Structure 1
Amino acid sequence: MKRKKTIKLLVLLFLVGLNVGCDQVSKTIVRQKVDYHENISLIKNILTLTKVENTGAFLSMGDNLPVAVRFTLLSLMPIFVLGFGLYYLLTQTDLPELMQLGMSFLLGGGIGNIYDRVMFGSVTDFLHMDLGLFSTGVFNFADVSIMVGIGILLFQSLRGKIIKTQR
């Protein structure tokens, strides 16, 4: 039983680390190889690569806040929340597997972005999608991990509610 628990913890840590690692490797490549605001078409202007530094949160929200407030809201609080989330993920042994997977993606993405903010003072974003009627802001792989994690957690939540109503 103890061996199974250890393996589960290692798998969860691997998933979180994989998300952080993919994010950090992609950002390192972009920092070294792409000039600021350079536009590189990856898929016929649908997906473009452009490097920007984001000192705010999602879509630069909070960018204009005073430095002390921005540091508290965008660095200190997320570090505590991510720390608690990681603690919760690794200590709660009865979480559904989909919830564990979703939390691993969400935490890995959050850690990737908070690492940038602490080490560089901003988060490197570099992907942009333009689907005609819908266009995104510039984002990174940590943001993708966060959105995938939220999607998995939402699916798990809805799935649980559907199963309960069918009983």
Structure 2
Amino acid sequence: MNRNVFITLLIAFNIAIDQISKKIVRSNMIEGARGEIDIIKDYFQLIWVENKGAFLGMGSDMNPTLKLIFLLILPTIVLGYVIYYIVKTKDLDRTSLIAFCCIVGGGIANVFDRIVYGQVTDFFFIKITDTIKTGIFNVADLSVTTGMIMLLFSGVVSKKKNKNEIA
């Protein structure tokens, strides 16, 4: 498969899965904690919230101009640069390429929500213990986080590989 087609399809897949999941949540749940659905007791729940900020609601109380800059313009520029980087950098290993596509797809999906709805739909909640739990997040956040973990993994493997080649 052509590399650019692969990049486009993977980014589009991440956006589509996120947007479909958000549409299902908006159509079938009640917003807020009263509408929570226990998937695995209270350890894995669906709780629909609308996030007007960034990660875990940070920045939700910023003035509109700062929100525009930090939650729309700056992320759009960064996402555009990452797309340019992955298209132009032909020697990226497969893991890094997939990781960047996940990050871009998730980022675009959340920016799309901010443009269209003025906020981001979040709905996943995981609790391991009473003190170890996540904030409420969505599929796009999961894509970005997975991409970041894959990049870290790829970097560690690459360093070990280079170290072994030098030795």
Tell me which interval the TM-score lies in, with the shorter structure as reference length: over 0.9
The answer on 1:9 being equivalent to 2:4 is yes
The answer on 1:26 being equivalent to 2:24 is no
Residue 135 of structure 1 is matched in structure 2 by 133
Give the root-mean-square deviation of aligned CA atoms: 1.0
Give distance in 2, aligned partners of 1:110 and 1:162.
Answer: 30
Q: So what's the TM-score if we normalise by structure 1?
A: 0.94
TM-superposed CA distance for 1:87, in Å, is 1.6
Is there any run of 5+ residues in structure 1 with no aligned partner, and where?
none
Residue 112 of structure 1 is matched in structure 2 by 109
Structure 2 residue identity aligned to 1:139: F
Residue 66 of structure 2 is matched in structure 1 by 69
TM-superposed CA distance for 1:84, in Å, is 1.2
Residue 145 of structure 1 is matched in structure 2 by 143
- Identity across matched positions, percent: 34
The answer on 1:125 being equivalent to 2:122 is yes
Structure 1 residue identity aligned to 2:50: E
Structure 1 residue identity aligned to 2:22: K
TM-superposed CA distance for 1:91, in Å, is 2.1
Number of paired residues? 162
Give distance in 2, aligned partners of 1:60 and 1:145.
Answer: 18
Q: So what's the TM-score if we normalise by structure 2?
A: 0.94
> 1:81-105: CA deviations, max 9, x gaps?
1111112112221211111011011
What are the residue-to-residue correspondences of 1:54-65 with 2, within 5 Å? 54-65=51-62
Give distance in 2, aligned partners of 1:104 and 1:154.
Answer: 15
Match of 2:37 among 36, 40, 62: 40
